[in-house]
A and B are shown apart, each in its own frame.
Chain A
Amino acid sequence: MLHVTLILFLITLFYLSIANRMTTYVNVLILQGLLLFVVSYLELKHIDTLNLILIMLETIVFKALAVPIFLRRVLKHNHITREAEPFLPNFVSLIITTIIVVITIVLSNAMEDVRLDKMFFVVALSTLFTGLYFIASRRKIITHVMGYLIIENGVFILSLAVGSEMPVLVNLGIMLDIFASVLILGIFLNKIGDVFKDVDVNQLTNLKDY
């Protein structure tokens, strides 16, 4: 069951790499939040109940509800166009995502550790690198933010892998999640939307050396 959920999570990455519309991105983020809810329950069910409830609340309330609602509002408020406008065609994106997953599988085979479930390692690292790839290959600032949220989800999975031994690390991860998302989304995406009318990274090139 745990592995099925994690593999589903991996499939969402492939889906993201060929998705075209901004609303699809938001929907996939919601789905990822729900999957993380299930994963965190299955992996951490034997830790302290109060802490478990806190962690699960974070996944459902924050990752699957608050952030997507906020992203929708930003999309609407700033009249951001529906297309994601990647620099590369979707087909290339799909191939690159596949290569990332293959590399992490090879890397995970090089790591010999009985305590770590390899599935966690593969899914977490491929999510991390796919997120970085999204940031590098998409044009809009809001897609950069979504790439960052995907990275956060990857880090959350990794923290769950060690979480049954050190639950305090999962809590630290949640703190990072909320802190960085609030900082990035709450303050700056709002401001940037108001100051730069069309939110495109090509507008952020005014800081120069000369």
Chain B
Amino acid sequence: MILFYLISASLLGAALFINRKRNVNYALLSTFLVIQIAFTVYACINFNKDSANYFTFDALGVLMLVTATIISVPAAFHSYVYIEESEENNPRSRATYFGALVFLITAVSAAYIANHIAVVWIFTEITTLSASALIYHHRNKLALEGTWKYVFICAISITFVFIGILFLSLSLTNSDADALSYKNLLLHKDLLNTSWLRLAFLFVFTGFTAKLGLFPMFTAGVDAKDKAPGPAAALLSSIIMGMGFVGIFRFYIVIANTTLLHWASLVVGIAAFLSLFIATVYMIKVKNIKRMMAYSSVEHMGLVMLGVAAGGIGYYAAVLHIILHSFVKSSLFFQYNQIYKVYKNKNIYYIGNYFQYNPTGAIVVLLAFLSVTAMPPSGLFVSEFLIFRSLFEAKQMLLLIVVLLLLTMIIWAFAKNIFKILFIPPVNFDATDVPRINPWRSLSQFVLIGGAAWLGLNPPAIFVELINQSIAKLI
């Protein structure tokens, strides 16, 4: 089934690249979405089974795959709206956009369920390629700059991951092609050479931070989200970040079963804290609202990795947080396109009084803001609270206090900008011909935010069970 999925999705993607007809494009895209949903259902039915040697439908993979599918359906719809309404709607850029979208979703889905570190690496390469096509959609100077930075930094980080894999192969005592699967690594955890394993973890971790949006390589993601079209930026800040998380987390599970657990948690913790710190600094001074959302993602990834570093209940909170964050942040990026449509600008000075021009959208912005900053009714409140609890239980009081102070500053900066968007009139804004935006277009965002709240406050038993299974090897 996995081979069927990969081949048919690649064929659909290639057909989208070649074909320039509008109706055929959308027919192909809808076919892909059907295949994606069917594949997700298949993965759920065949839970914990292997497929084609290199893929396993395990708990973490299935959780992330379902998340990706839930987000990719509205992403495809909003891409359709975006492409149809943009002025530069030419057949070539439309075909490239949707082709790249299909390849991106396929590669991310395959990376989630891959059980071999080299296979994850290959699919990470493919996401770089397809994401760069999405970022370069507008084909102007700024888009080129964003794309260049993304491609270059991602190329270097992919090389880093590869070096990590080479060191990992040196740390093994037996050597055949299957030796690098996660299962095999866990099986031989006592035989791994720790000094090579240390180097391997450092390189793999640094490499995947470009996708995750964590401290050393976070810049690429921020520029990319700024220049990519809204729906593509939503994918970049949800499912691609999830891919970076899966890449690090699966390797971290191996490390956590060796004697290096304490050292690795220190490395992850430092990177996570620095990400939070940098996100705070940028959030305070940022004036471009799309970049503000991107920095907020950096902050949340910092929190997720703090949970991983703290251990205990933190592992559970980290997986929960990354899923809920994907839902909330993607809905914020979907809404961003409506904001841009009203104001034709993304600078905070020229945006304001959004309640007057698009009340439904303004409610989405307000709810998404409450969710992202983890105010009590939102689901992220639960996961952030659990992360703080894990820090408390790990006896990191000083770190906890500093983190809470940084978060307070982030909430202040975020709230200042969001309330400016909602209530304070913009500078030099000509309100005579503001386009009316169909309120139904905000439906997907309400569903995603509501879903995140439901999963956080009243999680179904199967959801809790899946998260517990995905962290079972850690405790």
Contact = CB atoms under 8 A, between A and B. Distances in A.
A196 B285 CA distance: 29
A162 B195 contact: no
B199 to A, nearest CB: 8
Contacts of B149: 204, 207
Given A204-B149, A210-B347, A168 B177 contact: yes
Given A111-B196, A158-B163, A192 B144 contact: yes
A46 interface: no
Contacts of B141: 195-196, 206
A155 B162 contact: yes
A207 B225 CA distance: 11
A110 interface: yes
Contacts of A113: 170, 193, 195-196
A169 B159 contact: no
B50 interface: no
Interface residues of B, number: 44
Interface stretch (A21-29, A47-55, A66-74, A173-181): A173-181
Contact of A207 (B142, B151, B165): B142
Determine chain A's interface SS by DSSP, over half rule: helix
Contact of A172 (B118, B132, B145, B147): B118
A148 B125 CA distance: 16
A166 interface: yes
B282 interface: yes
Contact of A209 (B155, B179, B282): B282
A99 interface: no
Nearest to A125: B163
A46 B282 CA distance: 55
A188 interface: yes
B325 to A, nearest CB: 22
Given A192-B144, A209-B288, A210-B285, A166 B152 contact: no
Contacts of A210: 285-288, 347
B288 A208 contact: yes
Given A113-B170, A188-B147, A209 B159 contact: no
B175 interface: yes
Given A207-B146, A209-B285, A148 B170 contact: no
A166 B223 contact: no
A161 B170 CA distance: 9
Interface residues of A, number: 42
B137 interface: no
B146 A169 contact: no
B260 interface: no
Interface of B: 118, 121-122, 125, 128-129, 132, 141-142, 144-149, 151-152, 155-156, 158-159, 162-163, 165-166, 169-170, 175-177, 179, 193, 195-196, 223, 226-227, 282, 285-288, 291, 347
Contact of B156 (A151, A183, A192): A151
Given A151-B156, A155-B163, A204-B145, A162 B193 contact: no
Nearest to B219: A207
Which of A113, A115, A207 gathers most chain B CB within 10 Å? A207
B144 A195 contact: yes
Contact of B169 (A148, A151, A169, A195): A169
Given A116-B170, A188-B151, A206-B145, A169 B347 contact: no
Contacts of B165: 169, 172
B180 to A, nearest CB: 8
Which of B132, B146, B170 gathers most chain A CB within 10 Å? B170
A111 B128 CA distance: 33
A152 interface: yes
Contacts of A188: 144, 147-148, 151
Contact of B155 (A148, A159, A169): A148
A180 B148 contact: no
A13 interface: no
Interface in A143-163: 144, 148, 151-152, 155, 158-159, 161-162
Contacts of A161: 166, 170
Q: Give the 5 A-B CB pairs with smallest separation, nearest first.
A: A210-B287, A165-B175, A209-B286, A180-B155, A204-B145
Contacts of A191: 144
B159 A152 contact: yes
A191 B136 CA distance: 11
Given A172-B118, A184-B152, A179 B145 contact: no
Contact of B162 (A110, A165, A176, A192): A176
Contacts of A183: 128-129, 132, 151, 155
A162 B170 contact: yes
Contacts of A204: 145, 148-149
B162 A172 contact: yes
A111 B171 CA distance: 11
